[in-house]
Structure 1
Amino acid sequence: MKVLFLTNTAGQGHHSTAKALYDMLKSEGVECRIIDTYEYTDPVRYKIIDRGYLMATSKLPKAYGMFYRAFEKMPKRESLYSPMNVDNFILGLKLKKFFDNEFNPDVIVCTHVFSAQVVNVMKARGWIKAPIIGIVTDYTIHPFWEDVPYVDYIVIASEMLTMQAVKRGISKEKILPLGIPVNPKFSKKIDKAEARDMLGIDRDKLTVLLMSGSMGYGNIANVLAQIDSIDADFQIIAVCGNNNNARLRIKNMKTRKKVYCYGFVNNIDVMMDAADCIVTKPGGLTTSEALAKNLPIVMINPIPGQEERNVEFLLNNGLAINATKTVPVDEALYQLFMYPEKLENMKANIRLIGKPNASRDIANFILSLGSKNNNV
């Protein structure tokens, strides 16, 4: 069986989603490939999208949010002769060479709607027969997923988003509410005291995990200073990602609390097990990892657009609290710590709604499609 993962570089989450499933299926003996659709078909566009996304979300977030909301309101555009699909036709011609000459998959998995748009046109033209699965990597339905009728299945984060998907024009029969796939290590739980011992921190002290994401967005040092001002006894794990300036600034800060500061790390799963809550941007992947670990979330600095939609979903379902200009992060955490029952209630909601086994469930579904194709 051969599975092709098509992704697009717009932040790290889409590739990480593909990699989680890739690793799961490789362990089952499945032949897999991951390619960035734009990098393969149009390297110039790939660089523009990659740099443009980082620029828009970090330097022009309000403008990014405005365009995102405008796209949300646009009607369905299924015509193969629309300007967008004419463009995707051209990209599909280039991608077809990969299918014909290098790797002809039994199943195609798209972790970004841009990739789904290209293979949607290819399947409409009869160039490919393999079933196509699209994976939505946030707690909402992104614009354009309603415009890919030849994508056979669309995986969404929760069954509670099914109504939104149907209202957007997606056939209910295509919807698979299996969750957002994350690395399987986030589905395994380590005892809190053991995780703290592994990190070399106080095993008996309340612990806050502060993250800025892999790209180091946000002024994490200022957030840390606010958290440090809380009149309570706890320790802080601060993960700065690739933001070396923030890491150096935190290293030189004088704090009331014990702060353990890191740059980019590969053991976030252990840190989540060691923590009592996480303070982070509400990106789809980080959020899903925290939910898989049954870890209450304090959300900060959402990017206008899809992360604002994540905030709405998490708040409405009691999975997180949100720090704002009028309720800053120190007040939000203070309120969360006031009653231990609040943390327990959030954990109960997470157990009800979270999808810790999403990677395994989606992998099993992919394997079932391969079995069906082999029996035809």
Structure 2
Amino acid sequence: MGNYRFILSGGGTGGHIYPAIAIANELKRRHPKAEFLFVGAKDKMEMEKVPQAGYRIEGLWISGLQRKLTLKNLMFPLKLVSSLFRARKIVKQFKPNVAIGTGGFASGPLLKMAASSKIPCVLQEQNSYAGITNKLLANKAKRICVAYDGMEQFFPKEKIIKTGNPVRSDLVDLKVDKREATDFFGLDADKKTILIIGGSLGARRVNQLIEKELNFFKDLKVQLIWQCGKLYYEDYKQYDSSSVKVLAFLNRMDYAYAAADVIISRAGAGSVSELCLVGKPVLFIPSPNVAEDHQTKNAKALVSKDAALMLKESELDTEFENKFTNLMNSVDIQNKLSMNIKELAMPQATDHIVDEIEKLLK
């Protein structure tokens, strides 16, 4: 049992933060005496989420490049230099055995400085289209853990290990049955239930669609668990009823997944990995407003294996009702999607990533 020291960096969105926390939790389980330090971007959500998970975090003054010329972009070189200096100091003081990056701006300076101090680095790439930070760090990393096939277009082939994405441990085996889950939400266990998830903040376009289609859902005789996100809850709570449950946030995802017969979701990497484990029929509506349009690429990777359906935001008004009616009317399509998405699940992802990290401990 060595007294190892692990430094982890990733953030900006939950998709980068939760995998880092899952990896830290598994390392801690195997090495109870180990020390952990997270490094994030000063004003991003990791500064709140990581301490909630029980870990120490240091913030760097860094942000991504905006897509248009702004004052923020002019500040970027200054922020980058400042972050590199700060990262070098953190690495020198903490002296980690291994550095682990899960993507997002802050992991760039930190892993660059760790690598130049000869500390072995592991990258974890959640998406089917690699993020810019991980692409820049690839040459310095010892191992790159990925969730999709075909990632050698971004990374050196000999460093890639397909592990899958870490997911919340309570989802690996749903212990709740449908009746218990529908009771929890005050719904009818004998009716078909549609779960709508737009991420923790919510998804404006998805919410607009659900609002517009409420009568359509009523005609189909289905009930809804509609997680509209905290930014939109005030706009949509008026629709809450015995058959439409409007929620800002889902604290019990296990109940929500167990209650659902069909799921409508964004296609962030974390959601996709979770939904593979859950194994229910899914209709993805990818967000077009993300870097490199990676959500569309994530969704297409499943659609190509007959494991999910997808509609672009631009197709919602014309194609949603047809596509959704076909899905609800065909038990065959539901079963096929369910079976195929389950085959893509990688429930041991966190264990595999930590196995790779342990190989680098010296």
TM score, norm. by length of structure 1: 0.77
Q: Does 1:207 align with 2:183?
A: no
Match of 2:121 in 1: 132
SS of equivalent to 1:91: helix
Q: Distance in 1 between matches of 2:233 and 2:271?
A: 20
**Which residue of 2 is the match for residue 275 of structure 1?**
260
Deviations 1:165-214 (A, max 9, x none): 2233x221210111111211121213223322333322222110011211
Are residues 269 and 140 of structure 1, via their aligned partners in 2, closer, same or farther at CA, if it must alter by over 3 Å?
farther
Residue 312, structure 1, aligned to residue 300, structure 2? yes
Partner of 1:76: none
Q: Give how far 1:2 is off.
A: 2.2
TM-score normalised by structure 2 residue count: 0.80
One-letter identity of the residue aligned with 2:140: Y
Deviations 1:34-55 (A, max 9, x none): 2205665642x34xx4xx87xx
What is the CA-CA distance between 1:273 and the residue it aligns to? 1.8
Secondary structure of the residue aligned to 1:166 is helix
Letter in 1 for 2:221: D
1:241 is the counterpart of 2:229: yes
Residue 153 of structure 1: aligned partner? 143
Q: Deviations over 1:277-316 (max 9, x none)?
A: 2112111112222122113221125224111211221221
Q: In 1, are the aligned partners of 2:9 and 2:110 still within 8 Å (CA)?
A: no
Corresponding position: 1:112 with 2:100: no
Q: Does the 8 A contact of 2:40 with 2:60 survive in 1?
A: no
1:252-298 superposed Cα distances (whole Å, 9 cap, x missing partner): 2387x810111123212320121112112111112222122113221
How far 1:98 moved relative to its partner? Answer: 1.3
Alignment of 1:367 with 2:341, yes or no, is no
Taking the TM superposition and a 5 Å limit, the aligned residue runs for 1:28-177 are 28=30, 29=32, 30-36=34-40, 40=58, 42-43=60-61, 45-46=62-63, 49=64, 91-101=83-93, 103-112=94-103, 114-123=105-114, 125=116, 127-129=117-119, 131-143=120-132, 145-148=134-137, 149-158=139-148, 160-161=149-150, 165-168=151-154, 170-177=155-162
For residue 116 of structure 1, report the CA deviation from its aligned partner: 4.8
Whether the 8 Å CA contact 1:195–1:271 is kept in 2: the answer is yes
**SS of the residue aligned with 2:360?**
helix
Displacement, 1:20? Answer: 1.9
* CA distance, structure 2, for counterparts of residue 194 and residue 253 of structure 1: 24
CA distance change for structure 1 residues 342 and 117 in 2, over 3 Å: closer, same or farther? same
Kept in 1, the 8 Å contact 2:11–2:106? The answer is: yes
Aligned length: 327
Whole-Å Cα distance in 2 between the matches of residues 93 and 249 of structure 1? 45
Q: Which amino acid aligns with 2:254?
A: D
AA partner of residue 151 (structure 1): A
Stretch of structure 1 that moved more, 184-193 or 319-328: 319-328
Relative distance call for 1:107 and 1:348 in structure 2 (3 A) is: same
Q: CA 1:205/1:154 → structure 2, altered by over 3 Å: closer, same or farther? A: same
Q: Name which structure has the greater RCO, CA cutoff 8 Å, separation 6+.
A: 1
Distance 1:364 1:204, change over 3 A: farther
**Equivalences for residues 214-363 of structure 1 within 5 A:** 214-228=200-214, 229-230=216-217, 231-243=219-231, 246-253=232-239, 258-304=243-289, 305-324=293-312, 325-326=314-315, 327-363=318-354
RMSD value, Cα: 2.9
- Alpha-carbon shift at residue 144 of structure 1 (Å): 5.0
